[in-house]
């Protein structure tokens, strides 16, 4: 996938059909890890969550060289640190632990959020990346696609603010690369394997039950935003269980930065819908699975 702003300053997303039929998501992840390992030294940004853990597992089981780094907020993500220590013992590595006291940097990151329009948690993450050795490319965990259901049709939502603004901020002044293996990559095979998987298809069929089952947020009384949480809560854990079975550790979900008041309720939030496109999923998959045709289509915000 390629993204950008056109001559009229409108956001666009461009897709090209994949050059070959894709395998399942574990096969495609292994191939993606082989590719990036051949291009430079790798530092995995490890949170202990499933998304970064399967990347770690792929590198370790394939015998690919890697190092890991963990962003530690004392008093806020101690549980995650304990989980990283469990993974250290399992795989035999020592993580680079970068300590950032979120309260000590509060004024700085809130000022940066006001200046840039990028929420505070991303500035904290940039501080973490800036303290890692520039001899290594940094690999972030897998980001899921954003499914959106509207007028009886499934769509894929892509947003300039959700992806590119943050990515550009992370890259400022860096000698090394921030690598993504998912839909943010120019290589679409892994992202496509996730979307065409039968678990993701089953989710789309079962969506009326999931959407209207009465689950609400305890604080707001509103149902969770399925465009954000649908994949995280319903698709991802089942897909990972399907392909990695008991080879990885299914630590319960723990959103550590939400324990930080000014991160959980930020003054500056991303306006995901300001520059966004909603792509008909069925037609997009028809394009992407036209193997080797080199067909390209651009979708531009209205």
CA distances 139 to 47, 113, 228, Å, are 12, 24, 22
* 193, 28 Cβ separation under 8 angstroms: yes
Residue 196 lies in a domain: yes
DSSP element (H, E) containing 264: helix 261-264
Tell me whether strands 96-99 and 67-72 are parallel, antiparallel or unpaired: parallel
Residue 284 lies in a domain: no
pTM over 0.85: yes
Give the count of domains, the chain: 1
Domain containing residue 100: 22-275
Residue 4 lies in a domain: no
For the chain, 302 residues long, give each residue's pLDDT as a single digit of tens. Answer: 999 999 999 999 999 999 999 999 999 999 999 999 999 999 999 999 999 999 999 999 999 999 999 999 999 999 999 999 999 999 999 999 999 999 999 999 999 999 988 888 889 999 999 999 999 999 999 988 888 888 889 999 999 887 777 887 788 888 889 999 999 898 999 999 999 999 999 999 988 887 776 666 667 776 655 555 678 888 999 999 999 999 999 998 766 565 788 887 777 777 777 889 999 999 999 999 999 999 999 999 98
Of the chain, the end-to-end C-alpha distance in Å amounts to 19
CATH of the domain at 96: 3.40.50
Residue 113 lies in a domain: yes
Helix, strand or coil, per DSSP, at residue 233: helix
Residue 302 lies in a domain: no
Residue 295 lies in a domain: no
């Amino acid at each position: 996938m390629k993204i950008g702003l056109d001559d009229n300053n409108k956001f666009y997303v461009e897709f090209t059909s994949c050059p070959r039929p894709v395998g399942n998501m574990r096969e495609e992840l292994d191939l993606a890890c082989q590719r990036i390992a051949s291009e430079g030294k790798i530092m995995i940004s490890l949170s202990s969550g499933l998304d970064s853990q399967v990347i770690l597992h792929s590198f370790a089981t394939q015998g690919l060289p890697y190092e890991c780094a963990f962003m530690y907020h004392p008093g806020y993500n101690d549980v995650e640190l304990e989980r990283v220590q469990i993974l250290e013992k399992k795989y035999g590595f020592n993580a680079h632990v970068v300590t950032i006291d979120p309260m000590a940097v509060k004024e700085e990151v809130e000022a940066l959020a006001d200046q840039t329009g990028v929420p505070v948690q991303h500035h904290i993450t940039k501080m973490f990346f800036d303290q890692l050795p520039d001899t290594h490319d940094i690999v972030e965990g897998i980001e899921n696609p954003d499914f959106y259901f509207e007028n009886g049709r499934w769509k894929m939502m892509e947003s300039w603010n959700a992806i590119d603004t943050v990515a550009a901020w992370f890259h400022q002044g860096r000698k090394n690369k921030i690598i993504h293996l998912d839909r943010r990559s120019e290589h679409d095979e892994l992202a496509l394997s996730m979307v065409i998987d039968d678990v993701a298809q089953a989710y789309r069929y079962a969506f009326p039950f999931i959407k209207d089952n009465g689950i609400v947020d305890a604080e707001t009384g509103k149902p969770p935003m399925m465009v954000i949480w649908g994949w995280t809560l319903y698709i991802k854990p089942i897909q990972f269980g399907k392909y990695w079975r008991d080879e990885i550790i299914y630590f319960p979900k723990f959103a550590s930065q939400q324990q930080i008041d000014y991160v959980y309720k930020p003054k500056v939030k991303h306006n995901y819908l300001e520059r966004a496109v909603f792509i008909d999923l069925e037609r997009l998959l028809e394009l992407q699975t036209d193997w080797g045709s080199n067909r390209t289509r651009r979708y531009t915000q209205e």
